[in-house]
Structure 1
Amino acid sequence: MDSFKKGWFSEIGDMWPGMVQSIEVDSLLHETTSDFQQVQVLQTKHHGRMLVLDGVIQCTEFDEFSYQEMISFLPLCSHPRPEKVLIIGGGDGGVAREVVKHPAVREVVQCEIDAEVVNAAKKYLPTMSSGFSHPKLSLHIGDGFAFMGQHQGEFDVIITDSSDPDGPAEALFGENYFKLMKSALRAGGIVCSQGETVWTSLDLVYNMVNHCSKHFPNVSYAFTSVPTYPTGQIGFVLGSLDQDVNFTIPATVFTDEEKDKFELKYYNENVHRAAFALPTFVQKRLSSLLRKK
């Protein structure tokens, strides 16, 4: 047991009882406490650099691309022309890095509440924070609720890259948030929110999908594999104002040349389709909500 105490970072949380994710660490590169949370960047032995917020792993250089690509391209490639995109959260910059790659996207607006996360990413996570310097992107530091309240009917796609529903991200999981996102969308708009894991948080997933279904006529749930997240899996709640959208069939399919140009490591059209194929126990729990109305 000493190996779990010396030279290892262990993620222990109430949301995944009885489980511990431990990553072997070389050094602590950065640590600060912002107005919202504790921010740490660690150098790990095998997973590159790792961002931790309030003791919870947010991303590692080893596998971050799976999450960033899927939360970005599932909604972007489901929309026929996602010209203007809003990112809520995503302070590490990874989602911005992916969103700006989509050829239809002309403008990306990002609203992150914690400047300390952005500052840490820019200094210690350059492979992710590269998105912040792209000319398509404008970054606003502030509250996402307030920002969307001031920007009604503006966006084709809204992507919420949030931490878990403890601390500053808690409000991003409630019904009022989905209602507010709807009001900030253009006709036919799509939302995609970080949707936790069905293995430890199926009740939370159900509640999120239920909240979304009250404001969007077309709702779906997808998931991806991220080894350094609890259970190795994380999901996404998607909603569209266009009830004719079929999330399982991408409206945009990248060519092999585009995939190489975009340096995609995980996302492709087949993974897109498969992401919506849910295990039976999840289907049974969500079946009454995952339908077009």
Structure 2
Amino acid sequence: MRLISYKNRKENDIQTGLLINDDQELIPLITLGLPSDMNDLIKIDFEEIQNRISLKNDETSKLSLSDVKILSPIPRPLRNIMCVGKNYHDHAQEFYGSGFDSSGKKAVADFPVIFTKATTSVIATNENIVLANDYTNTTDYEGELGLVLRKGGRNIKPEDAYDHVFGYTIINDVSARNIQKQHEQWFIGKSPDTYCPMGPALVTADEIQDVTKLKLRTIVNDEVRQDSVVSRLIFDIPTLISTISKTMTLETCDIIATGTPAGVGIGSEPPIYLKSGDSVEIHIDKIGVLKNQVL
């Protein structure tokens, strides 16, 4: 299932939808007796969601995608977005050599580097990344695979981790580099308003046979800047879920951004920061394209 949150252009209520017909149309899930809020939808038993969606037929109400405004799949997450720093070998080396790495003395960490982004930083595809929120003018992009949990827990075993995943989306972990460097802990530099584009869809885990084979590309102004595959993660998805759950209770609807590969702006000499008028696209196989303009 390819799920979205949206607003009908004629109304202001947030709804959930099932994308159909090559993402040209959607079925409002409320017409199938399912919640209009994505967090509430994820909390339902997955088989119940599948059963409800199986009831759709030719008479089921449909909307053209051109008649709605697509929102982030989870417009306001219930908790901060959990993120992973330096989780591709090439990016770990790139970031370590940039002078912005305050996380430790080694390029490749022995354990996952976990931080969070504020829920207020989330925006949708086709919305603007607002540079005015970074008073240091050092804004950078980071294309990442994001995952959303369908159930939480403590001390989750790596071999059980995928059973906790509801689905996958795309996240741009936009970063104010000098703020990130000044404060050493990364939260403030990662959390300016509009600095967490997410979407366009939330693709349920059953649609993706092997998530490690997904290819990720970030394109800035038609130039490919990042080009990698999820299998190159240093700490894979089961390790991330297991590690985080060793000390804190993960909850249904939690979001984890799994890390970014090499090719970010500070990896260039001199650094190439985002500027007003730039276009940033993040492509991930089977999920889609997250596209944002820089304002």
More helix by share: 1
Same fold (TM over 0.5): no
TM-score, with length taken from structure 1: 0.28
Looking at both structures, which has the greater relative contact order when contacts are Cα pairs under 8 Å and sequence separation is at least 6? Answer: 2
